[in-house]
Amino acid sequence: MDKQKSREYSRIYYEQHKDYYKIIHRGYYSNNKERHAKLVHDNYIKNRDQILEYHRNYYENNKEKILNNRSIYRKNNKDKIHHKKSKRSARERGAIVRDLTVIEWQEMKEYFNNACSYCLRQDRKLTMDHIIPINNGGNHTKDNIVPSCQPCNSKKGTKNLLQFIAKYH
C-alpha cells in the first residue's frame, strides 16, 4: 500500500472510530496531566518565537474581529469583569485569601435584598465592602464582604465594622 492510500485509510478509520479515540485520549490525559503540561510547556519554550509571531500576525489580521468580540463579552459579562477587577485589586492591596466567586457575590446581594447592608437603600449601585479592610489584614472572602452603596462604603473607609457603627449609627 502506498503512503497516500495508507493516509486515506487511516483518516477514514479515525473518522469512523472518533468516539473511541476521544475516550482513549481523555483517559490518557487525565492519567498524565503533569506529563502533558510539561510537554506543552517544553514545546512553548522550544517554539516561543514562532508562537508569538503567529499570535502577533493573527491579531494584526483579525484585529477588528477580536476587538469586537472583546467588546461584546464585556457588555454581556459586566459582573464577571467587575469581579475579576475586584480580585486583582484585593491581591494588589495584600489580601492573602481571594476566593469570593461571582455566584457568591450574587447570592450575598440577594440575601440583603439588593440593598446596602448599612443604610438599607435599594436605589443605589452596590459595591463590595470588606468588614475588616484588606489594609487591616482582612481577606477578599465571602465571610468578610457585604454589599454596600458607594456613599456608605466611602464613609466606612478603612474602619472596621465596629468602629463604623460606633461612629455613624
Across the range 28-44, mean pLDDT stands at 89
Across the range 7-30, mean pLDDT stands at 86
Please tell me the predicted confidence (pLDDT) of residue 41: 94
Task: Give the C-alpha distances (Å, rounded to integers) separating 15 from 12, 22, 67.
Answer: 5, 11, 36
Pick from 141, 134, 140, 142: which is nearest to 160 by CA?
134
Q: Where are the beta strands (DSSP E) in the chain?
A: 126-130, 145-149
Across the range 111-120, mean pLDDT stands at 93
Please tell me the predicted confidence (pLDDT) of residue 56: 97
How does pLDDT run across 65-80, given as a tens digit for each residue?
999 999 999 999 988 8
How does pLDDT run across 116-166, given as a tens digit for each residue?
999 999 999 999 999 999 888 888 899 999 999 999 999 998 888 888 888
Three cell numbers at 1?
500500500
How does pLDDT run across 19-35, given as a tens digit for each residue?
888 888 888 888 888 99
Please tell me the predicted confidence (pLDDT) of residue 21: 83
How does pLDDT run across 50-70, given as a tens digit for each residue?
999 999 999 999 999 999 999
pLDDT above 90 for 169: no
d(CA 1, CA 164): 83
Please tell me the predicted confidence (pLDDT) of residue 27: 83
Across the range 37-60, mean pLDDT stands at 95
Across the range 79-102, mean pLDDT stands at 85
CATH hierarchy code of domain 74-168: 1.10.30
The residue extents of the domains of the chain are: 74-168
149 forms beta bridges with 126
Please tell me the predicted confidence (pLDDT) of residue 1: 57
d(CA 63, CA 70): 11
Please tell me the predicted confidence (pLDDT) of residue 163: 86
Residue 50 phi, psi (nearest 5): -65, -40
